[in-house]
């Protein structure tokens, strides 16, 4: 396994936060290395049109936007490793990051590993992903024109997805595990007044049906009150039950909340460890936007640059 020189900055993560952190660090002449992951680009790689990223007045496809961000970071000298970080050692500086192939060391680490959509966890879900099971209504809605669709979840994402899907689907059933909805009342009111939307409460998905035919044909639901099960017909199921941060590598070393999101200091991307910063969805359960992720990636790079400059001055002063 190759053991490389100590870098100024390693960014882990190839989404809007990671590439923006790399862009700013590269322009500060810190020669950053981005360990961007095998499937770089982050959640926007599964999105179609992005209409709310400033600067793209006509909208842009998610993958195109991510390759633009990557190219911009590259232009100023960012180096990329298209592999997953599999282990880190943050117990001393320089910090150590390992991929399957090599070991990298850096004075400063910027963690921008993002978050991923939660899965239902029922047996046939994985086999039917891309065959009727989707985690992104905006990406896949058009494939379900005039069909019966189920959205799972009771938060704002589920209701927003359901309302969006009514533009395409014949009928949208929202399946939620409780009677009370977590979503904003205004979203619930909109859903209730939409005649294409049906609310099925106190029910969970027991199984996604259709594995033997290779595409979703329906769902088996289970009452969370009585355990009774029943089946409903559906051509597609959109899972909108929240996200989990990609923080398993860091939970032993860094402060995090109950859900695993890394904690950063107020008005800063600094974690509890000197020299380790966190940017983007990995530390943000609230806003989760590409533009806010990019903004915090910029913050992390500026903070990294300042920290390294102060340390350099201290070294020079002896």
Nearer to ligand NAP (CB atom), residue 90 or residue 175: 175
Min dist CB 148 to ligand NAP, Å, is: 19
- Gyration radius from the chain CA atoms: 22
Task: In angstroms, give the least distance from the CB of 297 to ligand NAP.
Answer: 20
Structure tokens belonging to residue 18: 């990671």
284 annotated active-site: no
Half-sphere exposure of 233 (CA within 13 A, CB side): 4
The pair of three-digit structure tokens given for residue 88, joined into one six-digit string: 């880190």
Can 122 be counted among the known catalytic residues? Answer: no
**Least distance in Å: CB of 114 to ligand NAP?**
14
Cβ contact 20:66 at 8 Å: no
How do beta strands 87-89 and 218-223 pair? unpaired
String of DSSP letters for 64-104: HHHHHHHHHHHHTT-EEE-S---EEE-SSSSEEEE-SSEEE
Query: Residue written as tokens 């943050």?
Result: 90
Smallest gap from Cβ 131 to ligand NAP, in A, equals: 20
Catalytic residue among 139, 156, 244, 255: 139
Out of 84, 140, 161, 281, the active site residue is 140
CA proximity to 28, closest of 302, 270, 316, 269: 302
Task: Select which of 84, 136, 281, 298 is catalytic.
Answer: 136
Nearer to ligand NAP, 88 or 163 (CB): 163
CB atoms inside a 10 Å sphere around CB 94: 18
Nearest distance in Å: CB 156, ligand NAP: 4
- In the complex with ligand NAP, the residue whose CB is nearer, 177 or 220, is 177
What tokens were used for 111? 């963690």
Per the document, the length of the chain is 318
Report the nearest approach of ligand NAP to the CB of residue 163 (Å): 10
Q: Tokens 């993002």 correspond to what residue? A: 114
C-alpha 12/C-alpha 187 separation (Å) is 36
Nearer to ligand NAP, 108 or 175 (CB): 175
In the bound state with ligand NAP, the residue whose beta carbon lies nearer, of 126 and 309, is 126
Query: What H or E segment, with its residue span, contains residue 264?
Result: none
**Spatial contact of 173 and 219, defined as CB atoms under 8 Å apart:** no
Q: Which is nearer to ligand NAP, 8 or 247 (CB)?
A: 247
3-state secondary structure (DSSP) of residue 165: helix
Q: Where do contacts with ligand NAP occur on this chain (CB under 6 A)?
A: 118, 152-158, 160, 177-178, 182, 204, 240-242, 286, 288
Beta partners for 233?
Answer: 218
Active site residue 139: yes
State the catalytic residues. 136, 139-140
């Amino acid at each position: 396994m190759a053991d490389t020189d100590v870098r100024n900055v390693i960014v882990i993560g190839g989404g809007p936060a990671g590439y923006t952190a790399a862009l700013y660090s590269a322009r500060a002449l810190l020669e950053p290395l981005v360990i961007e992951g095998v499937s770089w680009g982050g959640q926007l790689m599964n999105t179609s049109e992005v209409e709310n990223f400033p600067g793209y007045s006509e909208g842009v496809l998610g993958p195109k936007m991510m390759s633009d961000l990557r190219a911009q970071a590259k232009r100023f000298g960012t180096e990329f490793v298209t592999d997953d970080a599999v282990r880190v050692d943050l117990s001393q500086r320089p910090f150590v990051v390992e991929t399957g192939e090599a070991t990298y060391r850096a004075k400063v680490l910027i963690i921008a590993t993002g978050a991923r959509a939660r899965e239902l966890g029922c047996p046939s879900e994985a086999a039917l992903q891309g065959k009727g099971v989707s985690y992104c209504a905006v990406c896949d809605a058009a494939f379900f024109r005039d069909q019966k669709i189920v959205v799972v979840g009771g938060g704002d994402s589920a209701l927003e997805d359901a309302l969006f899907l009514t533009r395409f689907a014949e009928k949208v059933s929202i399946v939620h595990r409780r009677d009370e909805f977590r979503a904003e009342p205004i979203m619930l009111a909109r859903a209730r007044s939409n005649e294409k939307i049906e609310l099925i409460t106190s029910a969970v998905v027991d199984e996604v049906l259709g594995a033997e035919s290779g595409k979703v044909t329906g769902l088996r639901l289970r009452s969370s009150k009585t355990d009774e099960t029943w089946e409903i017909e559906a051509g597609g199921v959109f899972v909108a039950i929240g996200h989990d941060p990609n923080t398993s590598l860091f939970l032993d070393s860094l402060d995090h909340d109950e859900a695993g999101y890394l904690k950063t200091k107020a008005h800063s991307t600094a974690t509890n460890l000197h020299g380790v910063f966190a940017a983007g969805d990995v530390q943000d359960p609230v806003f989760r936007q590409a533009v806010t992720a990019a903004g915090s990636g910029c913050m992390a790079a500026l903070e990294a640059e300042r920290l390294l400059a102060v340390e350099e001055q201290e070294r020079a002063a002896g």
